[in-house]
Structure 1
Amino acid sequence: MCNKEIIEKVRNTAEEYFERGKFFCSEAVIHTINELLGWPLPKEITKLSSAFPIGLGKSGCLCGAVSGGSMALGMVYGRSHGEPMNDKMFPASAALHDHIKNKYKSTCCRVIVKDYEFASPERKKHCVKITGEVAAFIAETILNDDEAAEKINRSV
């Protein structure tokens, strides 16, 4: 698969997980990126992102997909106890924040969905799209980093 195909596959997979109700936004991103990376972490890692949907536990703050995306970046650029911080971690996470803020004018869940009734299918469709956008951005970030791209499961 070429990079463009991988990115679109990741986008579609994350969107499908959310659309079909298998996961919420943050969970869909984490699970999809873990899969993309060939499961470097147990599938149960998705549980760590379960508190983030709907803007941090339904508080409407930071978009759950963005939270999940930042966690997914940690799979590639994160550190273990005693290790120095990877120089790529903060710029990659800031780039995700800036990308979503530029595209949707905010990273705050309640702002991003303010034009939708929460229970509406239109709001869910909008959030599914954002989830796919975050997952695709993470995949593209990884693929554009030669060292990180080696971790990609190209058969996704």
Structure 2
Amino acid sequence: MIVCIFQGRALSRAAAAAALLAAGAGLAGCASMGDGMSTAFADPAKYQLYDCKQLETERKSLDTRAAELEGLIEKAQGGVAGPVVAELAYRNEAISVQGQRKFAEEAWRQNKCRPSPPATAAATPAATAASIASATGAKPAKGAPPVPR
């Protein structure tokens, strides 16, 4: 009777260990699946009708969001249950953003877009009013800077 109890416990421990190993292998497979499955969480037709200006804005916002998510994942990794929190809270959105970035890049290349040049400083309203006044010969508005002649 005693031998039977010890054999039953050893068998249940072996079964539990085998179940843990199988679960670990299954979760490891999920972690590597994220890179290949990134486009499954994004709409491939979303960016087909975007023009270059819209694509440029979208690409910048996707890059920003991807960087935010990577930072959050790294921050969560340092916690007590960090890897679990990182996977549950942020990984799906990070995979989705990665897929969206891929489709936005494809649309960017298909449209043969080029990055826009950096914006120059806009003229101040007072300077614009003064230049209009000098061009028309009118007296500048009260409070406007003097027009050099």
Pair in the same fold by TM > 0.5: no
- Using structure 1 for the length normalisation, give the TM-score: 0.27
Quick check: which has more Rg, 1 or 2?
2
Higher relative contact order (CA 8 A, sep 6+): 1
- Using structure 2 for the length normalisation, give the TM-score: 0.28
* Structure in which a larger fraction of residues adopt helix: 2
